[in-house]
Chains A and B, each alone.
Chain A
């Protein structure tokens, strides 16, 4: 498409403008702000795309401000080598005329023809927007919209699809393909989640198979257990049958019986042995008795002999013992005598020592008593002094507090007096020589000032009486205060018995001195009797008592303590000495006592032993005599021989029997008997156990058998097989849908890539030039610019700078325009100040790209930045030169 000329009248601010001779290629139309360059684009849009008979409301916008004239636009243009002249007028007198090669289309026909050649779909009513303007919707960019995303209306999209598919054939599936894919996805979703995980129906089918597999397994186990038991029963029955057939039990019984008989025989022999052994024992016993009798007699004879010699021995011993006893008795008597003397001595010295002790005690007590008494005398004299001082001090009535109170009163009185003095009337007498002044008959010393504090009558000699009354309340008051105080003080002093305060003070000082004296004496007293007087007195009393109890003989002189102590020590050592002697003598007597009694005991013992032995001898002699009388020594010898013979015979008989028993091997017979018994009992037990087992298993099997495990298992297997088949079918179905979906999606992705390839191919040289090492990601469905790929990073379109956005949006338009152009689509690009956000470097690159693109197509740039385009080296049209005036 090539727009050759544009003439606009009464269109908004353009009242009469014409741009003629627009060339193919790049043209820059320069207009200052408010000069109407953007209105020029609006006028072109209106001419091509707005219906001439647009409603009043919609067309009002086209009118110049404040006037009702007819907007008229004329455009000369060329599409696919056909030239056209278009004249379109809007309300108030709308019309449309399109001419080409002597052909004319008027009004609606003109509109129809325009739609045909430009390929756009107008709105049903009202004004158009970019979506109604066909390719211009994409390629004509209004001011301030260059950086916005590309806008494709359906007509544009379909034109681009046509152009691309014209080049590479049909690759996308179209509406049918989309619906088919949707249907497949729907089936996919029945089986899988969006992430491709299996959904419930498949999971359930699998779970069912697993549950049934477990059931089958369990039943198989049960059946195999059942069959195991059947086998066990078989083997048990077989075994039991074999026992019966082979007479196993009867054989064992016979064997056991045989062994029992052998054992019985053995027991008989053993019995015989026992009898023989007992008889032997009897013989032995009898022999023993005879032997006993014989040896008994021999023993008695020996005993008698022994007794005789023992008796002799004892008799000798007794004789010797008698002598010893006499000696000891003599020595004992002497010792007792000595002891008696020693005891007497000891008693005497003790008594003497006690007397000496008493004397010592008395001497000590006397001395102590004298000390105490002396101390008491001293103390008593100090105490008396204290008492005297005390009495004196007590006689003085004044004390510290009273004194202080008196002093205060006296001070106050002095103050008050001074105050009275100060306010008293002062009279100075200046009498004539020798004249006297008397007050109350007392002569006043006139040399001094005289103060009158109350009404006073002065008798002035030679004058008469002068009565002065000092004035004012104050003096009266003050005087009364002084008088009160005086009277108080006086009454206090009177009470104490003083006539003046000085007297009181003197007395108070005396009292203080007395008190100090008392204190000193008291501390002196404390030094003498720290324990106190009472204590001291009672102490002395105690001593006296003690002395009273310590009386000594009449006329005995009192000894000094030292002398008494010496005497006492002497008496004590004498007592100790005699005590020692006494103890020694006592010990001697005791030892001799013991000795004597031992000799006595020995003598008695020997005496008793002698008597016993004599009696024993007597009885033994009698015994032996009696024995010989009944059985002589010869007879006894014969009996012994007989008994020995019998014992030997019986021993032989027993030996024979024992040999017989040994030959029988009793252990073997017994063990054989035990073995066969055990075998029999075990066998019986086993048979009975196995019979019981067989019986139990039979019952158990019968119980289980009723349930028909085999049938149940087969039934379960059938359920399992069918569930497995169902699952297999479901899985087959699901995997088929999955494969179909994946294959379709992959093919669709490939198709989109293929579809978008021609656009990328056109775009790439521009991108390389303006934004090297980048590429654009275009959406294959919407053709929108998704993102810019730069340094391996994908940057979303909306995140790019405005400058970059306007640049790549213009470049994408150029690429698309190239494809459309190649498919002979009516392509012309109009850009209203498209690069206002670009820096100088990019601006330059962009304008170079535009210049390059303009070799193939017409590009009109409307701008108010003339300077930026000056270096472009292309046609520049000044809008202001196009106004007709």
Chain B
């Protein structure tokens, strides 16, 4: 008897995106709920039996009831089984987002028998008339030192039953720092004879082995993730068979990070081309742009225009401007050939390149303003 399910994780509902300006922030927050709906839609389309959500459904246990209700509402689209385990952001404490979700459900008249919150340690869930055993690793606190999947090894199921493990944590062997909390053994799928081990915590989609995968988050939420914005459609034909895993793109917003050096007018033109190349869809892109290099005042003024344009086009531009404005002879001549203004410009120029101190930064800013005033005043 075959079994198809959607593997997803790290919805991080209720995340506030504190470092992002107001307008895009609101959109990003709303998009996280929409992502859940996309997952449900995918399950419908693929006629999946269940959706397995591997932790960090909520950004924290202290999310609002509204967020919890939105999450529960979003699941209504798919009537199949939803199986949830807690993550390090929403561990199964006595009082948690989960206990509150359960309360909300209890308070509703409609029974939601298809929602399974696996909150007790070492307690498996049997679905499909007992032909499918789901073994959960339940985080009861944010950080566990022990591998909570260890009990899978010893837990026996009747022959022919498909064994699927669910866990939220990292695989220490694959990390530079092997002392990561909430460890999951690299070979757990083998030692526990699992048909599939669904993992959560890493926001990018990642294959550990043919039976062990990180689905990643369905909607990207940071600049640093590798390959986020997907869900996995997993099919297992029978117990012991190799599962087929299909990565499906669901995410809407692209979070891009670019580092560009600028030293000349030519570089400035390249910069425009470069951004155009990596941002095909500016309205759905959040761009973190790290600029470095040295530009004279005239080019700096031009750069400003280019960046203002991009800021207007993109969903969000996060600019880390490490450029040093350095007045050229031409800049200075343009400001004034002689007289005290020229003297002042030269002094500021010297200060601006003297060191990396805050004084130098102030001098750079002062110079740029002087130049702009000069441009505004015309000749």
Interface residues of A (CB under 8 A from B): 169-174, 176-177, 179-181, 183-184, 187, 223, 226-227, 230, 233-234, 237, 694, 697-698, 701-702, 705-715, 717-718, 721-722, 732-733, 735-737, 739-740, 743-744, 746-748, 750-751
Which listed residue, A694, A712, A722, A747, touches B343 by the CB 8 Å rule? A747
6 A-B pairs with the lowest CB-CB distances in the bound complex, closest first: A708-B64, A710-B62, A714-B16, A736-B365, A173-B339, A710-B60
Contact between A747 and B344 (Cβ–Cβ < 8 Å)? yes
Known: A721-B18, A739-B365. 18 other contacts (CB 8 A): A172-B340, A173-B339, A173-B341, A176-B336, A233-B93, A705-B62, A705-B100, A710-B59, A710-B62, A714-B16, A722-B22, A732-B365, A739-B348, A739-B366, A740-B367, A743-B344, A743-B366, A744-B341
Report the bound CA distance from A294 to B108 in whole Å: 100
Please indicate the chain A residues that have their CB under 8 angstroms from the CB of B95 in the complex. Answer: 230, 233, 697-698, 701-702, 705
Query: B223: CB under 8 A from chain A?
Result: no
Name the CB-closest residue of A to B22: A722
Report the bound CA distance from A744 to B103 in whole Å: 68
Please indicate the chain A residues that have their CB under 8 angstroms from the CB of B366 in the complex. Answer: 736-737, 739-740, 743
Query: B66: CB under 8 A from chain A?
Result: yes
Query: B65: CB under 8 A from chain A?
Result: yes
With A714-B15, A718-B20, A744-B341 known as contacts, the answer to whether A226 contacts B62 (CB < 8 A) is yes
Max chain A C-beta neighbours (<10 A), residue from B59, B64, B66, B97: B64
Report the bound CA distance from A831 to B341 in whole Å: 40
- Interface hits, B10-50 → A, CB 8 Å: 14-22, 25
Query: B67: CB under 8 A from chain A?
Result: yes
Name the CB-closest residue of B to A708: B64
Please indicate the chain B residues that have their CB under 8 angstroms from the CB of A721 in the complex. Answer: 18-19
Please indicate the chain A residues that have their CB under 8 angstroms from the CB of B347 in the complex. Answer: 743, 747
Digit string of B318-355 for contact with A (CB within 8 Å is 1, else 0)?
00000000000000000011111111100110000000
Name the CB-closest residue of A to B96: A230
Name the CB-closest residue of B to A697: B95
Report the bound CA distance from A468 to B341 in whole Å: 155
Report the bound CA distance from A104 to B348 in whole Å: 57
Please indicate the chain A residues that have their CB under 8 angstroms from the CB of B348 in the complex. Answer: 739-740, 743
Interface of B is mostly: helix
- Interface hits, B350-376 → A, CB 8 Å: 361-363, 365-370, 373-374
Query: B273: CB under 8 A from chain A?
Result: no
Contact between A744 and B369 (Cβ–Cβ < 8 Å)? no
Contact between A180 and B25 (Cβ–Cβ < 8 Å)? no
Report the bound CA distance from A179 to B340 in whole Å: 12
- Interface hits, B246-298 → A, CB 8 Å: none
Please indicate the chain B residues that have their CB under 8 angstroms from the CB of A705 in the complex. Answer: 61-62, 65, 95, 97, 100
Report the bound CA distance from A212 to B41 in whole Å: 41
Please indicate the chain A residues that have their CB under 8 angstroms from the CB of B22 in the complex. Answer: 718, 722
Contact between A170 and B63 (Cβ–Cβ < 8 Å)? no
Name the CB-closest residue of A to B361: A732
Report the bound CA distance from A169 to B338 in whole Å: 9
Q: How many A-B contacts at CB < 8 Å in the complex? A: 158
A693 vs chain B, min Cβ distance (A)? 12
Contact between B62 and A735 (Cβ–Cβ < 8 Å)? no
Max chain B C-beta neighbours (<10 A), residue from A697, A698, A711, A712: A711
Contact between B344 and A717 (Cβ–Cβ < 8 Å)? no
Name the CB-closest residue of B to A752: B340
With A717-B18, A722-B21 known as contacts, the answer to whether A171 contacts B340 (CB < 8 A) is yes
Please indicate the chain A residues that have their CB under 8 angstroms from the CB of B365 in the complex. Answer: 732-733, 735-736, 739
Report the bound CA distance from A181 to B366 in whole Å: 13
Which listed residue, A227, A233, A747, touches B340 by the CB 8 Å rule? A747
Contact between B340 and A714 (Cβ–Cβ < 8 Å)? no
With A183-B373, A711-B67, A737-B369 known as contacts, the answer to whether A176 contacts B94 (CB < 8 A) is no
B70 vs chain A, min Cβ distance (A)? 12
Report the bound CA distance from A174 to B368 in whole Å: 21
Query: B377: CB under 8 A from chain A?
Result: yes
Please indicate the chain B residues that have their CB under 8 angstroms from the CB of A187 in the complex. Answer: 369
Please indicate the chain A residues that have their CB under 8 angstroms from the CB of B100 in the complex. Answer: 702, 705-706
With A718-B17, A718-B18 known as contacts, the answer to whether A170 contacts B62 (CB < 8 A) is no
Max chain A C-beta neighbours (<10 A), residue from B93, B340, B343: B340
Report the bound CA distance from A506 to B59 in whole Å: 156
Q: List 15 A-B contacts (CB under 8 A).
A: A173-B341, A177-B341, A180-B341, A180-B370, A226-B62, A230-B93, A701-B95, A706-B64, A708-B62, A711-B16, A713-B62, A722-B21, A732-B362, A735-B362, A747-B340
Report the bound CA distance from A748 to B343 in whole Å: 9
Contact between B59 and A711 (Cβ–Cβ < 8 Å)? yes
Name the CB-closest residue of A to B363: A739
Please indicate the chain B residues that have their CB under 8 angstroms from the CB of A747 in the complex. Answer: 340-341, 343-344, 347
A308 vs chain B, min Cβ distance (A)? 105
Interface of A is mostly: helix
With A233-B93, A721-B18 known as contacts, the answer to whether A223 contacts B338 (CB < 8 A) is no
Name the CB-closest residue of A to B365: A736
With A172-B340, A230-B61 known as contacts, the answer to whether A711 contacts B14 (CB < 8 A) is yes
Please indicate the chain B residues that have their CB under 8 angstroms from the CB of A171 in the complex. Answer: 338-340
Name the CB-closest residue of A to B347: A743
Which listed residue, A174, A234, A709, touches B94 by the CB 8 Å rule? A234
Name the CB-closest residue of A to B15: A714
Report the bound CA distance from A100 to B38 in whole Å: 101
Report the bound CA distance from A630 to B96 in whole Å: 101
Please indicate the chain B residues that have their CB under 8 angstroms from the CB of A707 in the complex. Answer: 64
B328 vs chain A, min Cβ distance (A)? 18
Name the CB-closest residue of A to B13: A711
Report the bound CA distance from A710 to B96 in whole Å: 12
Please indicate the chain B residues that have their CB under 8 angstroms from the CB of A234 in the complex. Answer: 93-94, 140-141
Contact between B374 and A180 (Cβ–Cβ < 8 Å)? yes
Which listed residue, A172, A708, A722, A744, touches B344 by the CB 8 Å rule? A744
Report the bound CA distance from A707 to B14 in whole Å: 12
Report the bound CA distance from A183 to B377 in whole Å: 9
B311 vs chain A, min Cβ distance (A)? 14
B148 vs chain A, min Cβ distance (A)? 16
Contact between B61 and A710 (Cβ–Cβ < 8 Å)? yes
Report the bound CA distance from A422 to B211 in whole Å: 187
Report the bound CA distance from A736 to B362 in whole Å: 5
Contact between A715 and B374 (Cβ–Cβ < 8 Å)? no
Report the bound CA distance from A717 to B99 in whole Å: 26
Please indicate the chain B residues that have their CB under 8 angstroms from the CB of A722 in the complex. Answer: 21-22
Contact between B374 and A223 (Cβ–Cβ < 8 Å)? no
Which listed residue, B14, B140, B141, B373, touches A710 by the CB 8 Å rule? B14
- Interface hits, B52-97 → A, CB 8 Å: 59-67, 93-97
Report the bound CA distance from A169 to B100 in whole Å: 81
B282 vs chain A, min Cβ distance (A)? 22
Which listed residue, B14, B93, B336, B373, touches A173 by the CB 8 Å rule? B336
Please indicate the chain A residues that have their CB under 8 angstroms from the CB of B342 in the complex. Answer: 173
Report the bound CA distance from A707 to B63 in whole Å: 8
Report the bound CA distance from A72 to B336 in whole Å: 51
Please indicate the chain A residues that have their CB under 8 angstroms from the CB of B368 in the complex. Answer: 736
B58 vs chain A, min Cβ distance (A)? 9
Report the bound CA distance from A711 to B18 in whole Å: 10
Please indicate the chain B residues that have their CB under 8 angstroms from the CB of A718 in the complex. Answer: 16-20, 22, 25
Contact between B18 and A714 (Cβ–Cβ < 8 Å)? yes
Max chain A C-beta neighbours (<10 A), residue from B21, B341, B343, B348: B341
Report the bound CA distance from A705 to B103 in whole Å: 12
Report the bound CA distance from A702 to B107 in whole Å: 14
Please indicate the chain A residues that have their CB under 8 angstroms from the CB of B61 in the complex. Answer: 230, 705, 710
Please indicate the chain A residues that have their CB under 8 angstroms from the CB of B369 in the complex. Answer: 184, 187, 736-737, 740
Which listed residue, B96, B339, B344, B362, touches A174 by the CB 8 Å rule? B339
Name the CB-closest residue of A to B376: A183
Name the CB-closest residue of B to A710: B62
A705 vs chain B, min Cβ distance (A)? 5
Report the bound CA distance from A740 to B341 in whole Å: 10
Please indicate the chain A residues that have their CB under 8 angstroms from the CB of B97 in the complex. Answer: 705
B6 vs chain A, min Cβ distance (A)? 26
